[in-house]
Amino acid sequence: MKVLKLSSEDDLYGIFVRVREGHRIGSVPLCDVKVTPKSDRNFCFVQEYVVWFANR
């Protein structure tokens, strides 16, 4: 799955991102996204958001 852009914001699910997997396009909550590999430059930013969202 590849994240294309930030999509919207919701009070219950937080930030949504626009994603593409193959020919399918949709939106998923950023708190459900996992960045792999850990060496990716975006890993720490997404991980920090996931932890923050879980503890809010």
Domain extent at residue 27: 2-55
Q: Total domain count for the chain?
A: 1
Q: Are 18 and 27 in contact (CB under 8 A)?
A: yes
Spatial separation of the C-alpha atoms in residues 26 and 8, rounded to whole Å: 12
- pLDDT for 56: 87
Longest dimension (CA), the chain: 35
Q: Model pTM?
A: 0.83
If you search the block for the tokens 């459900």, which residue do you land on?
A: 32
3-state class (DSSP) for residue 7: strand
pLDDT tens column, 19-56: 999 999 999 999 999 999 999 999 999 999 999 999 98
